[in-house]
Amino acid sequence: MAFSPAEIYLSKVFEIGISRSTLKHLLNIAGRHQNIALIGWSDYAKHLINVYPDRIKCIVDEKTEVTGLSFRDVPVVPFSSKEARSADCYLATRFDMLTSAVLRLYQDRQFPTKRYLFAPEYDGRTSEFYDPMMQDAIFETIRSAGSPPPTMMEDSRIVLLVEVLRTALRVEGDVVEIGSWQGGSSWYICQALKALNEDRRAYFFDLFDESERMSGRAVMASDHIRRQLSFYPNTSVVVGDVRETITALEDRRIAFFHYDNMFQHKVFPYVWSRMPSGGMILLDNYGHFRSHPAMIDDFAEKNGTRVTFIPPLGQGILIKP
């Protein structure tokens, strides 16, 4: 049984920085098409050019660090270039460009007139579902900022946090978080505000250094958290029992409230009364019985609204009518 050049090539590939499974998918796709524009400068793109030099027209990528480069005389070009626009089809070689590239092609009227091709998975990440943490430009900006402080929130919760924040910023007001722990979620909030060119005030409340020494969780150093958030200067880290320190918001208007605490009879109505219509609350622990979700539901009903529960994550969203 004879092997094809692509199969022979695949057997020789060092699986360093790439997945042989993903490359196999991309080679199979490229082998069935002509006059292809590859989406994204990557090692996958280079492998495709090695195997199919006569099928690949160009690599489409507008990142400044690769603009103007070439590989085996195949140029890296912008979406608006003649080379990109004259391709017969487009093949994505980078997972993080899957969604942004199809939008650009649509805006340039190249899609859906021409085919947009992609592998079923990239390095083990399925292309069946949208992954904002990897594919949304704001998260790319946040990732490039470095490592966040510790957080108990997994990626899916962080995505929802940033998404609700972005929607809430359509109304005027400050940003408030109660239950900041070591500042991981606070860091994401501030990075998102910076990426969105916002300058509104952000308040972060917790016991921090005043937490009970022998609780096993008393590692929140407010000075360190302030330093970690210093890239966003319009920040206030408020130390102490929130039932007493909440008055820091006395004269403020609040657009977004991230609440990681049990229902507090004094705190919750205090913040709510300072939110305009359209202001949003993300209840991080709404699905936890110890957070007293029934009490939050009762409060919402009495104020003419209800909590939208996000079952897989245990979070809830509340919008001020």
- 5-129 and 133-319: identical CATH topology: yes
Q: In the Cβ-directed half-sphere of 155, how many Cα atoms lie within 13 Å?
A: 7
To the question of domain 5-129 being in CATH 3.40.50.720, the answer is yes
**123, 42 in Cβ contact below 8 A?**
no
Instruction: Give the angle 102-108-113 at the CA atoms, nearest 5°.
Output: 70
Encode 31-63: b = buried (16+ Cβ within 10 Å), e = exposed.
Answer: eebeebbbbbbbebbbbbbebbeebbbbbbbbe
Which residues contact residue 247 at a Cβ distance below 8 angstroms, ignoring those fewer than 6 apart? Answer: none
Mapping DSSP onto H, E and C, the string for the chain reads CCCCHHHHHHHHCCCCCCCHHHHHHHHHHHCCCCCEEEECCCHHHHHHHHHCCCCEEEEECCCCCCCCCEECCEEEECCCCHHHHCCCEEEECCHHHHHHHHHHHHHCCCCCCCEEECCCEECCEECCCCCHHHHCHHHHHHHCCCCCCCCCCCHHHHHHHHHHHHHHCCCCCEEEEECCCCCHHHHHHHHHHHHCCCCCCEEEEECHHHCCHHHCCCCCCHHHHHHHCCCCCCEEEEECCHHHHHHHHCCCCEEEEEECCCCCCCHHHHHHCCCCCCCEEEECCCCCHHHCHHHHHHHHHHCCCCCEEECCCCEEEEECC
pLDDT by 10s per residue, the chain, length 321: 678 989 999 999 988 999 999 999 999 999 999 999 999 999 999 999 999 999 999 999 999 999 999 999 999 999 999 999 999 999 999 999 999 999 999 999 999 999 999 999 999 999 999 888 888 989 989 998 999 988 888 899 999 999 999 999 999 999 999 999 889 999 999 999 999 999 999 999 988 876 776 566 666 788 899 999 999 999 999 999 999 999 999 999 999 999 998 898 899 999 999 999 999 999 998 988 888 899 999 999 999 999 999 988 899 999 999
Question: CATH number of the domain at 133-319, please?
Answer: 3.40.50.150
**Rounded to 5 degrees, what are φ and ψ at 250?**
-50, -50
Per-domain boundaries in the chain: 5-129, 133-319
